[in-house]
Amino acid sequence: MPKTVVKEPAACPKCGSDTFRWGHDSNWRHIQRYRCKNPKCKRQFVPGRPERVKKYPTIICPRCGGRMSIFKFLSDGYRLRCNNHIHKDKRHCNHKVNVPLPGKSFKIAKDPLECIETTLAVKFSWTKMSFTNPCASLVLYFSVFTSLPATQVAKIMHDLFKFDISNDTVTRWTHKAALNIHKNLGLLSVPKARGRRRTLTDETVFKVKGSKRWVWMTKDSKFDSEQSWFISPRRSTEYARSNFNIAFTASPCLKNIQALTDGLWSYSSALGDLGFDADKHKVYHGFFERPNNNRRERAWSTLKVNARRFRGFKSDLGLWSFVTHQVYLHNYFKPNQRLDGLTPAEAAGAKLPYCHSHWKLFLKFL
């Protein structure tokens, strides 16, 4: 670009107001830069220089009305932050908003099954199986209700009942039982209830072939029920968003109560993407703080103790089947002391077939 000499201040190309000299551009230090005197405009420009093409549209901060810029790139979009975060006075605003990529939408799951890929046949063919129905029922009882690994179940069946069953058969039956119980019984839908009520959300880590897998779960404090679960290879807004959306889809009333989480940024970001009221999101920072997430934290111990026998899982389907069985056992088939001996499903008014035992009720949904 040839050198341009400007003796008189040029008019603002945006509003036509007077301008004053404003230093030199970093890339064109020999050319004078100007700034508009209008406090509502403050346009900076270089005479004779073409306008820059914006790579993304201008977005206004919904909290303070300022402009927002890209702060971080996500797997399915990007995060914007208000430009007023640089101020230290009353103008300070650190609000952030997630925006999907152009022409796309956020990845939001509506079912826990969407976190894995499986081609395993779901339906049990009881009449065509090589083993008898009582044999298959005993295998599922040991693997599901007592959380025994396939090697121990096969050994028990051989020593006590003289059935030679391979470990792969026990594993396949356990996976099919998890898929069946989830397809036929479905997520627990809880109704509206009076009194103090909130959702408790947290995540924990398991090992699958030596790699980390994060398990996200949401619990309802009123009925002590597990409302959602999701498995992901890392902690990010995308997976926290799916976990919350599963709970809100099964029980829409949960979107109007308080959500309690720890300080992980993915929670507040995911709730904001789902249109959740920010004032109802409570973040706790310590064990002795009230309210806290201790009930959700203590619930991990049951899951961890039962999973310790497996010494890690061999596939994502195996981890998903284990967590799914634990969720449905807690919600439908195990009496709860907090609910005076009722299961969360019975306390929520879910209509289930009458059976003499919870084990026979479990078999009805396979």
CA neighbor of 359 nearest in space, from 134, 161, 194: 134
Residues in Cβ contact with 262 at an 8 Å cutoff, skipping those fewer than 6 apart: 202, 283, 284, 285, 293
Task: Indicate the length of the chain as a whole number.
Answer: 366
pLDDT band at 52 (very low <50, low <70, confident <90, very high): confident
Q: What is the pLDDT of residues 149-165, one digit of tens each?
A: 999 999 999 999 888 99
In this prediction, residue 26 has a pLDDT band, given cuts at 50, 70 and 90, of low
- Of 34-38, 102-106, 288-292, highest mean pLDDT: 34-38
Of the CA atoms within 13 Å of residue 203, those in its CB half-sphere come to 26
CATH number of domain containing 301: 3.30.420.10
* 170 and 138, same domain (yes or no): yes
Q: Is the pLDDT of residue 6 over 70?
A: no
CA 21 vs CA 18, 33, 104, 147, 189: distances in Å? 11, 6, 43, 76, 65
**Which of residues 30, 51, 72 is at a domain's end?**
51
pLDDT, position 8 = 64
More confident residue, 321 or 124: 321
The answer to whether residues 77 and 131 belong to one domain is no
pLDDT for residue 260 is more than 80: yes
Together in a domain, 187 and 86:
no
242 & 354 share domain: yes
The pLDDT score that the predictor gives to residue 7 is 55
Amino acid at 332: Y
* pLDDT band (50, 70, 90) for residue 56: low
CA 110, 113, 119, 121 dihedral sign is: negative
Q: What is the tens place of the pLDDT at every residue in 189-202?
A: 999 888 888 999 99
Q: Residues 75-84: what's their mean pLDDT?
A: 89
Tokens found for residue 273: 């993407």
**Does the pLDDT of residue 185 top 70, yes or no?**
yes
Residue 260 and residue 180 share a domain: yes
Domain that holds residue 194: 109-366
Q: Which two tokens stand for residue 314?
A: 């061999």
Both 113 and 199 in a single domain?
A: yes
Q: Kindly state whether residues 123 and 95 are assigned to the same domain.
A: no
Regarding whether 18 and 130 lie in a shared domain, the answer is: no
Do 304 and 364 lie in a common domain?
yes
Q: Indicate whether 64 and 43 sit together in one domain.
A: no
Q: Are residues 347 and 264 in the same domain?
A: yes
> If pLDDT is split at 50, 70 and 90, which confidence band does 28 have?
low
pLDDT band per the 50, 70, 90 thresholds, residue 331: very high
Number of domains within the chain: 3
Pair (43, 161) in one structural domain:
no
Structure tokens at 169: 């058969």
